[in-house]
């Protein structure tokens, strides 16, 4: 087995190439020496089985960004047999230097000129053989998007590996920092082997940009586009999600309940309401993640994501974030889980952590269900929509307060200098592949955590054996009682506290929990809620439910995406504190006003 790493600048189609070569067999995993997960897969090159590793995009092998460090640490810690440098054929003027930097590492190296289709459209002609001779490295040209030239590239890789000896020692690699010589070499290579027309004609991409990046129209168009995508994700995703839930329910009713009937109540309960419900919770996220990443990959691959960063930068920079964080925040209003996973498009870790801290505060569709139910039960129909609107405003305020409070701690080190790639039509195959790989990632990383959480909450609400479920005699009832000194000043009584414990699993479960706790359903439950709390207590409870903690699936995602237990703890503790302060201020403020 030979290990080969792919390196290249962002926007060179490196990941497209990786996906093209490896298909759905890729998996992300941990590597020695680096703190991010890297995708790898096995592919056959001639007679060699190759483990191909996709390294993060970098501009400079000696640069200071997180990704650039990752590439260096990887190359130091994990021996590779060969490197493949992917260059954008239409931007060789500034990318050839990277090939020379990589060459200086002294490892067998293949140079791939990608995006030959775009280069041809620009009228750029490249003398491959001459360039290969000048560089002293084998060169192959291809279009990873269209798949042309792929076979030739793999053949070149195979013959490179035929001649490759064992990887050379690390000592060689630090004989670098010869930027001036490299620059001169680049100049002469370009002059001899690459022909670029002196002035590029206005392209279709430029014409589209004139509208999309228009000083006044740009932002409204962006908001409309995001709104359309948001609607599309949840119009497509929600019925699928309901379908999965219905399927799990049907299996439970038609098969499992009869099958497990002979078991004692407790064992049947833990299997049905603990284990089976836990599996269902995980499964219900699958369609949403697929649909979300389908659209996100399309937005990212088309080039709109970098343009969103350009458009919203002047607003978001004040919060220590950028336009990519804005896109994820917005998506968080549908469901926090895929939005948290989507922050991976941000390459700078501090900014990524800051946006992961703010996303769970967006009022997701699960919380909306709870608020619609409570608002309808407590408020007159004319007032209820304004209560919901107020909760959305509260959600935005919580995001802004959090970003302002933590932007110093998670200060971005990365300069805002990004490429605006030309508009490109995303390919269906790659977009679909992305959705599938993300689901695999979510299932592998989050399943156990969510599952254990669901079972634990079930146990809390059903132990000791024989107590009425979620009643005052259970562990949960006892916790609700013990928390009264803390939650009482917010107008949250013992029964509501138990409902919050359920809401930890998934926010929409709060309504189901009311049904169990009060022993009532539907209108009867709504009536009992209206009798047992006034509007101040109900609003205080809703504010607390909005902010108090990310749901179990969101926490599982926070943990796997941040790879830090400390950060996950902060992402739970901060909203809890914020929720308490906000609800306390509201409840006591209203009471002080005599309401």
Partner 1 sequence: MSELRPLSDLNPGDHGVIAAVHAPEDLGKRLTALGFSTGRPLQLVRRALLRGPLQVRLGTTDVALRLAEAAGIQVRLAAPGSA
Question: What DSSP element (H or E) covers 195?
Answer: strand 194-195
- At residue 287, the 3 state secondary structure works out as helix
CB of 367 to partner 1, least distance (A): 32
543 is an interface residue for partner 1 by CB under 8 A: no
Mapping DSSP onto H, E and C, the string for 27-43 reads: EEECCCCCCCCEEEEEE
Distance CA 257, CA 281 (A): 18
Structural tokens at position 62:
């000696």
Mapping DSSP onto H, E and C, the string for 432-464 reads: HHHHHHHHHHHHHHHHHHHHHHHHHHHHHHHCC
417 is an interface residue for partner 1 by CB under 8 A: yes
Q: How far is CA 493 from CA 24, 216, 266, in A?
A: 51, 50, 28
| C-alpha 60: how far from chain center | 25
**Residue for token pair 């054996």:** 465
Mapping DSSP onto H, E and C, the string for 312-333 reads: HHHHHHHHCCCHHHHHHHHHHC
CA dihedral 290, 296, 300, 301 (to 10 degrees): 40
412 is an interface residue for partner 1 by CB under 8 A: no
CB of 118 to partner 1, least distance (A): 9
Based on CB atoms, which residue is closest to partner 1, 266 or 416?
A: 416
Based on CB atoms, which residue is closest to partner 1, 171 or 191?
A: 191
Give the closest residue to 510 by CA, choosing from 360, 366, 395: 366
Which of 76, 117, 313, 534 is the binder for partner 1 (CB under 8 A)? 313
Which of 164, 167, 196, 279 is the binder for partner 1 (CB under 8 A)? 196
With contacts defined by CB under 8 A, how many residues of the chain interact with partner 1?
A: 42
Which of 19, 40, 281, 306 is the binder for partner 1 (CB under 8 A)? 306
In sequence order, which ranges of 104-149 are alpha helices (DSSP H)? Answer: 116-121, 128-135
367, 545 Cβ separation under 8 angstroms: yes
Which of 3, 28, 37, 59 is the binder for partner 1 (CB under 8 A)? 59
Report the greatest alpha carbon distance in the chain: 85
Q: Are strands 2-8 and 82-88 parallel, antiparallel or unpaired?
A: parallel
Structural tokens at position 226:
């995001």
Based on CB atoms, which residue is closest to partner 1, 9 or 34?
A: 9
Instruction: Give the residues across from 114 on adjacent strands.
Output: 88
Q: Residues 206-245: x/- map of binding to partner 1 (CB under 8 A)?
A: ---x---x-xx-xx--------------------------
CB of 305 to partner 1, least distance (A): 12
521 is an interface residue for partner 1 by CB under 8 A: no
Instruction: Give the residues across from 148 on adjacent strands.
Output: 143
Distance CA 547, CA 544 (A): 5
Which of 1, 163, 180, 199 is the binder for partner 1 (CB under 8 A)? 199
Q: Residues 60-79: x/- map of binding to partner 1 (CB under 8 A)?
A: x-xxxx--------------
CB of 253 to partner 1, least distance (A): 55
Based on CB atoms, which residue is closest to partner 1, 244 or 316?
A: 316
315 is an interface residue for partner 1 by CB under 8 A: yes
317 is an interface residue for partner 1 by CB under 8 A: yes
Stretch that binds partner 1, among 39-47, 89-97, 451-459, 526-534 (CB under 8 A): 89-97
CB of 407 to partner 1, least distance (A): 16
DSSP 8-state assignment for residue 25: G
Give the closest residue to 444 by CA, choosing from 17, 104, 37: 37
122 is an interface residue for partner 1 by CB under 8 A: yes
421 is an interface residue for partner 1 by CB under 8 A: yes
Based on CB atoms, which residue is closest to partner 1, 213 or 570?
A: 213
CB of 260 to partner 1, least distance (A): 59
CB of 535 to partner 1, least distance (A): 40
Residue 242: CB atoms within 10 A of its CB come to: 12
Distance CA 354, CA 410 (A): 6
Residue 578: CB atoms within 10 A of its CB come to: 17
CB of 419 to partner 1, least distance (A): 6
Based on CB atoms, which residue is closest to partner 1, 259 or 315?
A: 315
Based on CB atoms, which residue is closest to partner 1, 91 or 355?
A: 91
94 is an interface residue for partner 1 by CB under 8 A: yes
Distance CA 364, CA 557 (A): 15
550 is an interface residue for partner 1 by CB under 8 A: no
269 is an interface residue for partner 1 by CB under 8 A: no
Which of 310, 333, 379, 574 is the binder for partner 1 (CB under 8 A)? 310
Distance CA 242, CA 236 (A): 11
State the first-to-last Cα distance of the chain, in angstroms, to the nearest integer.
73
Stretch that binds partner 1, among 307-315, 358-366, 461-469, 558-566 (CB under 8 A): 307-315
CB of 7 to partner 1, least distance (A): 13
CB of 88 to partner 1, least distance (A): 9
- By the criterion CB under 8 A, which residues form the site for partner 1? 9, 59-60, 62-65, 90-91, 93-94, 97-98, 122, 124, 183, 196, 199-200, 209, 213, 215-216, 218-219, 306, 309-311, 313-315, 317, 413, 415-422
């Amino acid at each position: 087995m030979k290990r080969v790493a792919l390196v290249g600048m962002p926007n060179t189609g490196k990941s497209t190439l990786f996906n093209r070569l490896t298909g759905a067999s890729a998996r992300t995993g941990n590597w020695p020496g680096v703190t991010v997960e890297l995708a790898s897969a096995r592919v056959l090159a001639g007679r060699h089985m190759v483990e191909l590793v996709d390294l993060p995009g970098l501009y400079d092998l000696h640069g200071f960004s997180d990704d650039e460090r990752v590439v260096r640490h990887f190359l130091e810690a994990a021996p590779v047999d060969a490197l493949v440098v992917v260059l954008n054929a239409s931007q060789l003027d500034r990318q050839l230097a990277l090939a020379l930097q990589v060459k200086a590492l002294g490892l067998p190296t293949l140079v791939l000129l990608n995006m030959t289709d775009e280069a041809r459209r620009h009228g750029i002609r490249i003398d491959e053989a001459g360039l290969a001779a000048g560089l002293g490295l084998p060169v192959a040209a291809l279009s990873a998007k269209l798949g042309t030239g792929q076979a030739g590239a793999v053949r070149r890789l195979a013959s490179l590996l035929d001649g490759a000896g064992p990887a050379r020692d690390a000592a060689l690699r630090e004989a670098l920092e010869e930027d001036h010589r490299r620059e001169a070499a680049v100049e002469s290579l370009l002059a001899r082997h690459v022909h670029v027309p002196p002035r590029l004609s206005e392209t279709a991409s430029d014409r589209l940009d004139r509208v999309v990046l228009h000083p006044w129209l740009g932002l409204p168009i962006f908001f409309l586009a995001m709104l359309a995508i948001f609607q599309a994700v949840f119009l497509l995703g929600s019925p699928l999600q309901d379908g999965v839930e219905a399927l799990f329910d049907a299996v439970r009713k038609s098969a499992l309940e009869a099958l497990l009937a002979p078991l004692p109540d407790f064992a049947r309960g833990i299997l049905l309401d603990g284990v089976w419900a836990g599996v269902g919770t995980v499964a219900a996220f699958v369609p949403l993640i697929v649909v979300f990443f389908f659209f996100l990959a399309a937005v990212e691959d088309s080039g709109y994501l970098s343009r969103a960063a350009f458009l919203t930068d002047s607003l978001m920079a004040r919060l220590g974030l950028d336009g990519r964080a804005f896109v994820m925040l917005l998506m968080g209003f549908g469901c926090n889980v895929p939005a948290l996973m989507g922050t991976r498009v941000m390459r700078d870790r501090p900014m990524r952590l800051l946006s992961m801290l703010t996303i769970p505060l967006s009022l997701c569709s699960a919380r909306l269900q709870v608020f619609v139910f409570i608002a309808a039960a407590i408020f007159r129909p004319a007032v209820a929509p304004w209560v919901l609107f107020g909760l959305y405003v509260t959600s935005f305020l919580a995001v802004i307060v959090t970003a302002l409070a933590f932007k110093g701690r998670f200060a971005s080190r990365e300069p805002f200098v990004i490429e605006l790639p030309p508009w490109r039509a995303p390919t269906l195959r790659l977009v679909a592949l992305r959705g599938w790989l993300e689901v695999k990632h979510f299932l592998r990383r989050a399943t156990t955590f969510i599952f254990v959480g669901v079972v634990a909450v079930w146990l809390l609400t059903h132990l000791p054996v024989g107590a009425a479920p979620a009643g005052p005699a259970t562990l949960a009832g006892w916790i609700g009682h013990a928390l009264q000194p803390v939650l009482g000043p917010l107008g949250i009584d013992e029964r509501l506290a138990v409902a919050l414990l359920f809401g930890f699993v998934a926010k929409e479960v709060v309504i189901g929990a009311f049904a169990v706790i009060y022993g009532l359903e539907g209108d009867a439950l709504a009536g009992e809620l209206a009798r047992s709390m006034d509007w101040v207590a109900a609003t205080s409870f809703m504010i607390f439910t909005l902010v108090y903690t990310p749901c179990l699936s969101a926490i599982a995602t926070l943990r796997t995406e941040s790879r830090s237990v400390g950060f996950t703890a902060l992402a739970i503790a901060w909203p809890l504190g914020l929720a308490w302060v906000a609800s306390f201020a509201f409840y006591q403020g209203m009471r002080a006003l005599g309401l």
